[in-house]
Amino acid sequence: MHIDSKCELLGKVQGFLLLLLFCFQFAHASDTIQVCKNCKYTTITSAIGAAKNGDFVMVSNGEYSEGKILIGKQLTLWGENFPVIEGNGQSDVFFVDADSVVVSGFEIRNTGISYIYDLAGIKINGHSHCRIENNRLYNTFFGIYLKHANECIVKNNEIIGQATSEASSGNAIHLWYSKNAEISGNSCKGHRDGIYFEFVEHSHITGNLSEGNLRYGLHFMFSNDDRYVNNTFRNNGAGVAVMFSRVIIMQDNLFEKNWGPSSYGLLLKDILDGEITGNRFNENTIGIFADGSNRIKITGNEFRQNGWALKILGSCMDNTISGNNFISNTFDLITNTSTNYNRYEGNFWSEYTGYDLNKDGIGDIPYKPVKLFSMIVSNLPVSIILLRSSFVDLINFAEKITPSLTPPSLADPSPLMKMILK
Amino acid sequence: MRTFYPASMFKILKYSLFDLTRSRWTYGYFLFYLIFTFGLLYFSNDVSKAIISMMNIILILNPLIATLFGALYFYGSKEFAELLLALPLKRSSIFMGKYLGLSLSLSLSYLLGTGIPFLFYEIQATGQAWNFLLLTVAGLFLTFIFTGLSFLVSIRFENTIKGFGISIFIWLFFAIIYDGIFLLTLLIFEQYPLDKYALIMTLFNPIDLSRVLIMLKLDISALMGYTGAVFNKFLGTGLGMIVAFGSLVIWIVVPVFVFIRFAKKKDF
């Protein structure tokens, strides 16, 4: 028995030593492999071929043109002073085929356009825990492309495309069937969609700039439980489109100057349980356009100088619009139905002309945001030329006194007298 | 004996301007705009909103005052005009001088009345300076146009009541009735392409023209929502501004030209 216990102790010590040795070896194994013109490795591909899992590959400044660079090991690829990786318009540039890969500090150019393959600057296919950071991607078809990739981080990249038509262009950041992604601090310009989410769940989009994209600044399809905060969407075909998705949180974003015949700051199409708070909508043709969207809370936003602050179709129910500022919009609200299933309360409307006798800051008469003329314009768009004409003011006034065409139940019963200051 | 044309015109302009600066009307007009604009800026807290309210007032009031005051002044100073006619002066310089005298005095009241409050509230610091400037220019155009129209009516009709009535009708027509008919025709002919029609209709009403001019700046987000190609080309580019300004100039020149022609031929 005594010997037995001694053996056991010895065994334990042995095991510990083995573990220590293993750890040491593992730590020691992380080598740094330098790639430059005069180094042992002059191409990134050869460096990757020589590397082990966990190695660093440092790439010095210079131009590299190697076609498709396959990263099949768990590596950290580090560019020094933005080495240029030229795609020569033929294939993907970086193709990540391993978990926990880091790609940082590269300038990636010219993937070329393909109608068969989704060519991308950096593509991750079926692997998780990757980081794509501080890269510049110019004239890529798709910029960063994540497919079945979970827990990945895409951060501080600059992605500038030269898209000319929707059919022949890709998205700057494209996610497909991914979970728990973090997209932050990127700037996406000149693509079809700035950021595209399809079947993406529990992901965060923070502090990005999406500007001058042909279709949408940010596009959700069938993606649930995501949130986007503090982003700027400017001058896109439409700012953000949220379609067929549930529980999307939209907070503190800026939607600006999304102008055009079918242009919106935010497009909601068949979505449920969203939350839209603290956003600013400035100078969009339509601030928020909602179709078939239910149980959404639109609170604490500011709508300033939009053509139409809100366009909420009859297919929307149980939405709450409260505590928003509506300032100097051409029209505050337009709808296509005479019945109203949404709640409007406690907003500030700069067009409101009521009074507040008991001085509680809430207007004593309800505000009706739908004007007769905005209904005329939605039926007969050319009549917009008569906007702000005295005759139009006259018929709006007549309609206000005796409503007959505007939805009678659509009103804010407690309009605020003063703007909500934050 | 013939006097040098512009010199005598400027002399008459000067006299009528001095004459008008002594008039209570001029001060009333000035004070109204001063108080109204100050009030608006004080109560609205938001300059862009104040500019929209100003626009509504200016589009109605400037033509109305120009129309009323034009007829009033023309009929009121008729005897003085007849006296001037006895002198060796060109008719065109007499009437041109009177027209410019009145237009300028009204413009001055309007400019000072709206300009002082906006400068006081530091319009240049709010980023709305261009919108305000455009509004001011549109107001000036309307003053000149409607003074011309009411002079034209007044010289055409000897009867004061008739002259006044027709002048006011012209104002009412352009300010309200025209747009009513315009909207009605748009609704009736809904099925047809109406882009060009709508633009042409706009050119034929100086108040609509001024309104569109301001709208191009203030409501561009809404206007860009319209899909018509002709419309978009007109509204979305500098073309709209140029055409609108050009038409406004024509709206000044043509009535004044006809007025001077009448004045030359008329047997006083």
Q: Are residues A214 and A324 in the same domain?
A: no
pLDDT band at residue B130 under the 50/70/90 scheme: confident
For residue A183, what are its two tokens?
């997209």
* A386/B199 Cβ within 8 A: no
Instruction: Write down the domain spans for chain B.
Output: 5-265
Task: Answer with the one of A204, A236, A268 that is the final residue of a domain.
Answer: A236
Class of residue A305 by CB neighbours under 10 A (exposed 0-12, middle 13-18, buried 19+): buried
* B55/A391 Cβ within 8 A: no
d(CA A174, CA A152): 12
What is the average per-residue pLDDT within A291-301? 95
Domain encompassing residue A216:
30-236
Could you report the per-residue pLDDT of A56-78, keeping only the tens digit for each? 999 999 999 888 899 999 999 99
Strands lying side by side in the sheet with A195-201: A69-71, A94-96, A120-125, A142-147, A173-179, A195-201, A216-221, A238-243, A264-269, A286-291, A308-312, A331-334
Could you report the per-residue pLDDT of A156-177, keeping only the tens digit for each? 999 999 888 888 889 999 999 9
Q: Which residue, among A373, A351, A393, has the nearest Cα to B207 in the 3D structure?
A: A393
Chain A residues interacting with chain B (CB cutoff of 8 angstroms):
257, 259-261, 263, 283-286, 305-308, 327-328, 330-331, 350, 376, 380-394, 419
Q: Are residues A417 and A360 in the same domain?
A: yes
Backbone conformation region of residue B231, classed left if phi is above 0, alpha if psi is from -120 to 50, else beta: alpha
Least confident residue range of A114-123, A178-187, B46-55 = B46-55
Mean pLDDT score across all residues of chain A = 89
CA distances from A17 to A13, A113, A185 (A): 6, 55, 45
pLDDT band at residue B129 under the 50/70/90 scheme: confident
In angstroms, how far is CA B229 from the centroid of its own chain? 30
What is the average per-residue pLDDT within A355-367? 92
Q: Are residues A296 and A389 in the same domain?
A: no
Strands A182-184 and A56-59: unpaired
Place of tokens 């314009």: A377
Per-residue pLDDT at A22 exceeds 60: no
CATH of residue A205's domain is: 2.160.20.10
Interface test mutation site (partner B, options A288, A389, A392, A395, max chain B beta carbons within 10 A): A389
Q: Are residues A293 and A223 in the same domain?
A: no
Per-residue pLDDT at A124 exceeds 60: yes
Amino acid letter, residue A113: I
Per-residue pLDDT at B2 exceeds 50: no
Q: Which residue, among A129, A192, A127, A120, has the nearest Cα to A157 in the 3D structure?
A: A120
d(CA A387, CA A385): 6
Residues forming beta bridges with residue A269, ordered by sequence position? A243, A291
Per-residue pLDDT at A286 exceeds 50: yes
Regarding predicted confidence, which is higher, B184 or B3? B184
- What is the percent of chain A with per-residue pLDDT over 90, rounded to a whole number? 64
d(CA A395, CA A63): 68
In a domain, A386, yes or no: yes
Could you report the per-residue pLDDT of B82-116, keeping only the tens digit for each? 888 888 878 888 888 889 989 999 999 999 999 99
d(CA B59, CA A390): 8
Could you report the per-residue pLDDT of A210-251, keeping only the tens digit for each? 999 999 999 999 999 999 999 999 999 889 999 999 999 999
Q: Are residues A165 and A306 in the same domain?
A: no
Q: Are residues A59 and A118 in the same domain?
A: yes
Per-residue pLDDT at A3 exceeds 80: no
* B194/A382 Cβ within 8 A: yes
Residue of B nearest to A258 (CA): B221
Cβ contact A251:A274 at 8 Å: no
Q: Are residues A199 and A329 in the same domain?
A: no
Q: Which residue, among B50, B54, B59, B223, has the nearest Cα to B121 in the 3D structure?
A: B50
Place of tokens 């807290």: B45
Q: Are residues A399 and A421 in the same domain?
A: no
Chain B nearest C-alpha distance from A175 (Å): 31
Mean pLDDT score across all residues of chain B = 86
Q: Are residues A357 and A311 in the same domain?
A: yes
Asked if B183 reaches chain A (Cβ–Cβ under 8 Å), the answer is: yes
pLDDT for position A1: 43
Residue of B nearest to A283 (CA): B221
In a domain, A139, yes or no: yes
pLDDT for position A18: 54
Strands A232-234 and A182-184: unpaired
Per-residue pLDDT at A25 exceeds 60: no
pLDDT for position B126: 75
Q: Which residue, among B17, B236, B23, B110, has the nearest Cα to A384 in the 3D structure?
A: B236
d(CA B106, CA B67): 11
* A380/B221 Cβ within 8 A: no
Asked if B202 reaches chain A (Cβ–Cβ under 8 Å), the answer is: yes
Instruction: Report H helices in chain B.
Output: 5-21, 24-44, 47-76, 78-85, 91-120, 129-156, 160-172, 178-188, 195-203, 206-218, 220-223, 229-236, 238-265
pLDDT for position A19: 55
Polymer length in residues for chain A: 422
d(CA A390, CA A388): 6
**Count of C-beta atoms within a 10 Å radius of residue B6:** 12
pLDDT band at residue B181 under the 50/70/90 scheme: very high
Per-residue pLDDT at B232 exceeds 80: no
- A248 contact partners, CB below 8 Å, separation of at least 6: A220, A223, A224, A225, A226, A227, A228, A242, A271, A274, A275
* B187/A285 Cβ within 8 A: no
Phi (first) and psi of residue B37, to 5 degrees: -70, -45
pLDDT band at residue A146 under the 50/70/90 scheme: very high
For residue B181, what are its two tokens?
């008919």
The number of CA neighbours under 13 Å toward the Cβ of B259 is 27
Helix, strand, or coil (residue A296): coil
Helix, strand, or coil (residue B250): helix
Secondary structure of B176-200 in HEC code, one letter for each residue: HHHHHHHHHHHHHCCCCCCHHHHHH
Asked if B127 reaches chain A (Cβ–Cβ under 8 Å), the answer is: no
Q: Which residues of chain A make contact with B222, given a CB cutoff of 8 A?
A: 285, 306-308, 330-331, 384, 387
* A380/B224 Cβ within 8 A: no
Total domain count for chain A? 3
Nearest to A259 among B176, B207, B224 (CB): B224
Q: Are residues A302 and A212 in the same domain?
A: no
Residue of A nearest to B224 (CA): A260
DSSP A255-283: EE---STT-EEEEEES-BS-EEES-EEES
Place of tokens 């005796």: A402
Q: Are residues A284 and A402 in the same domain?
A: no
For residue B200, what are its two tokens?
């042409």
Cβ contact B266:B101 at 8 Å: no
pLDDT for position A15: 58
Asked if B57 reaches chain A (Cβ–Cβ under 8 Å), the answer is: no
pLDDT for position B108: 92
What is the average per-residue pLDDT within B206-220? 85
Helix or strand run (H / E) with residue A375: helix A372-379
Q: Are residues A287 and A315 in the same domain?
A: yes
pLDDT for position A318: 93
Could you report the per-residue pLDDT of B156-166, keeping only the tens digit for each? 998 999 999 99
In a domain, A100, yes or no: yes
In a domain, A177, yes or no: yes
Residue of A nearest to B208 (CA): A389
Amino acid letter, residue A228: Y
